[in-house]
Amino acid sequence: MPLDHDPDWWRSAVVYQVYPRSFADADGDGTGDILGIIDRLDYLAELGVDAIWVSPWYPSPWADGGYDVSDYRDIAPELGTLEQADVFVTKAHELGLRVLIDLVPNHSSDEHAWFQRALAAEPGSAERDLYLFRNGRGADGDTPPNNWPAMFGGSAWERTESGGRPGQWYLHLFDVKQPDWNWENPVVADEFDAILRFWFDRGIDGFRIDVANSMAKAPGLPDLPVDPDTGEPQSHTLTGTAYMNQPHVHDILRRWRTVSDSYADSELGARIFVSEAWVTPVDELAKYVRDDELHTTFNFDALMCEWTAESQRNVINLTLRAMGDVGAPATWVLANHDTTRVVTRYGRPVTGARFTPDGMDLESFAGIGSVPEGVTDLGLGRKRARAAVLLELALPGGAYVYQGDELGLDEVEDLPEELLQDPTWERSGHTVRGRDGCRVPMPWTGSEAPYGFGPPASPPWLPQPDRWSELTAEGQDGDPRSHLSLYRAALAERRCNPALGDGGLIWDAEVPTGVLSFTREPGFRCVVNFGPDAYQLPVGAEVLIASGDASSRSVGADEAVWLRI
Ligand code: GLC
């Protein structure tokens, strides 16, 4: 496939997320690498996606899976070299695949040269002003400058020391090894413009912006209000707080848009952004994709939505209306490297948050991580995940596929504690296991671990469960009933069916409660049955693809079909 040069390619694109440490290990050190991704490019082209997003590949101490960047202009030696990255981008383009990479602008690693210089410099110095250093409170300055909690647990402030004496504190919204940049300092803003250009000039098609809602902080870094009952600071990160979704964050996004637009006349065209912003309600989120800001934004409301017809219909309506209001395409995403695998999530008694016609019922939101509740039914989860991908790929806009979801991989919930790497595990005092269970390396071939992830004698950085011998890409290839075959068929249909991708939908009236049915012109219909009763297909409709067995012309509970009408 030649590269799609339509300047609007991103409005309909299906983007495959590669988590590089866990994708394919060519050199046998147990960690995935760029040569491994290059080896599997044909697989991705054959799968039928339009673009690849590679999670951070920069030099990093890996305190947060590479989201702690120590050099924004290089490749982690564990993953490869800049030259290999260039080869990867060239080959991907030859196969018609666009390439997005991650930008982590809220924080760097504490091992970044500028942070090291800031630590060595005096309070009040220009070096310190690149980050958020403050004096502590209290007579000895031993109380943190404010009461903000870190996302991974504990305080968001860490005290420094110099010459054996305690000093200033620095802000880290995430891990202690992830100091926040000071975006009020123009040097920081200029540096990130230069980083964008560095990669755009190397042929990168766009960036996924990590925590795009967090760079701007409330002026003066004020304390959060305290809950009178618990004494804990109240931090509503989804709806906005002193360090999330501050209005002036949009100035930064507008600045980046001018950088990406300045490439409009280049061979690859203007470059694009997708924002990672866990922001609800969706009208707040839509501000991130106004026409002079970012291009698209992950639709986490839909990811967090429970598996019921009513909630799904509400979240779809809310999304399409809000994105339509700002002229941006919707995106649909079932999972990523931070969330419980979709097969497992949909197999749980509680599958997500409830959505009313007005938005998320915040009381019903139980968090994005792996929080097992009740017994998980993986068979049910896999069935629903098959239906869910047909729904996702039929909806207007673009879509994201997290690596391994096309194989129906489930969350690995019993990783040995001593192998857990997510900083959440340590910072929660070993009470929250964190996100490693969705980051277990891919099973490609064979019947024994490492299933072709790396050479036979190289144990992967996280162990794969025995049950994955049934789920390798090789084993699913050619089996028309496999998860992989369903993905391939749906992606192939999506490519050639003019009704799919960007556009609109019309809900079909007169379907029973529990069934969602919508039509897209010309002549396409998607039916999803959330159960419990089987739904008889309309007379004359041709089944294009079914998540279950549609030979009796009915759609069973937790199944979906695509129809030509
Ligand atoms: C984003 C990333 C997550 C990371 C965090 C801090 O949410 O997806 O993996 O831990 O940002 O960078």
Evaluate: CB of 175 within 6 angstroms of ligand 1: no
82 phi and psi angles, rounded to 5 deg: -60, -40
Instruction: Give the position, in ligand 1's atom list, of the atom nearest the Cα of 68.
Output: 12
Atom of ligand 1 nearest to the CA of 175: 6
- List the beta bridge partners of residue 542: 564
Does 310 participate in catalysis according to the annotation? no
Q: How far is the CA of 552 from the centre of ligand 1 (A)?
A: 45
Q: How far apart are CA 193 and CA 205, in angstroms?
A: 15
Q: From CA 184, how far away is CA 331, in angstroms rounded?
A: 31
Given this model, what pLDDT does residue 371 score? Answer: 56
pLDDT score recorded for residue 237: 87
Q: What's the pLDDT at 367? A: 72
pLDDT score recorded for residue 461: 97
422 lines ligand 1 (CB under 6 A): no
Q: Is 68 in the pocket of ligand 1 (CB under 6 A)?
A: no
Percent of the residues in the chain that have a pLDDT greater than 70, as a whole number: 99
User: Tokens 């629903």 label which residue?
Assistant: 384
CB neighbour burial string for 135-153, b if at least 16 within 10 angstroms, e if fewer: ebeeeebeebbbbbbbbbb
Tokens (6 digits) for 554: 């009915």
Mean pLDDT, residues 285-298 taken together: 98
% of residues, the chain, pLDDT over 90: 94
Neighbours of 161 (CB within 10 A): 10
Residue 279 one-letter amino acid = V
Q: How far apart are CA 7 and CA 361, in angstroms?
A: 37
pLDDT at 372: 56
**Each residue's pLDDT tens digit, 220-278:** 999 999 999 999 999 888 999 999 999 999 999 999 999 999 999 999 999 999 999 99
pLDDT at 369: 59
DSSP per-residue codes, 236-288: -TTT-BTTBS-TTHHHHHHHHHHHHHTTTTSTT-S-EEEE-----SHHHHHGG
**Count of residues making up the chain:** 565
Domain boundaries, given as residue ranges, for the chain: 9-107+184-487, 113-171, 504-564
Query: Which atom of ligand 1 lies at the shortest distance from residue 67's CA?
Result: 12
* CA separation for the pair 430, 326 (Å, rounded): 43
**113-171 shares the fold of 9-107+184-487:** no
Task: Considering the domain delimited by 504-564, tell me its CATH architecture.
Answer: Sandwich (2.60)
With residue 400 as reference, give the H or E element that holds it.
strand 398-402
Pairing of β 524-529 and β 506-507: unpaired
Q: What is the pLDDT of residues 331-366, one digit of tens each?
A: 999 999 999 999 999 999 999 999 999 999 988 887
pLDDT value of residue 155: 96
What's the rounded Cα separation, in Å, for the pair 55 and 207?
10
CA–CA dist 439, 421 (Å, integer): 10
175, 198, 173, 168: which is closest to 183 by C-alpha? 173
pLDDT for the residue 373 = 64
Provide φ and ψ at 496, rounded to 5°. -100, -10
Nearest CA to ligand 1 atom 9: 338
CATH class label, 113-171: alpha beta
Q: Which fold has domain 9-107+184-487?
A: TIM Barrel (3.20.20)
**Is 276 known to be catalytic?**
yes
266 residue type, one letter: S
Break the chain down into helix, strand, coil percent, rounded to 5.
Answer: 30, 15, 55
Q: pLDDT tens digits, residue range 532-565? A: 999 999 999 999 999 999 888 999 999 999 999 9
368 pLDDT above the threshold of 70:
no
For 308, what's the count of Cα atoms within 13 Å in the CB-facing half-sphere? 13
- Residue found under tokens 């409170």: 137
Average pLDDT, the chain: 96
pLDDT (0 to 100) of residue 550 = 86
Q: Residue 311 and residue 514: Cα distance in Å, rounded? A: 10
pLDDT of residue 366: 75
pLDDT higher than threshold 70 for residue 370: no
What integer is the mean pLDDT of 16-26? 98
CA of 414 from ligand 1 middle (Å) equals 22
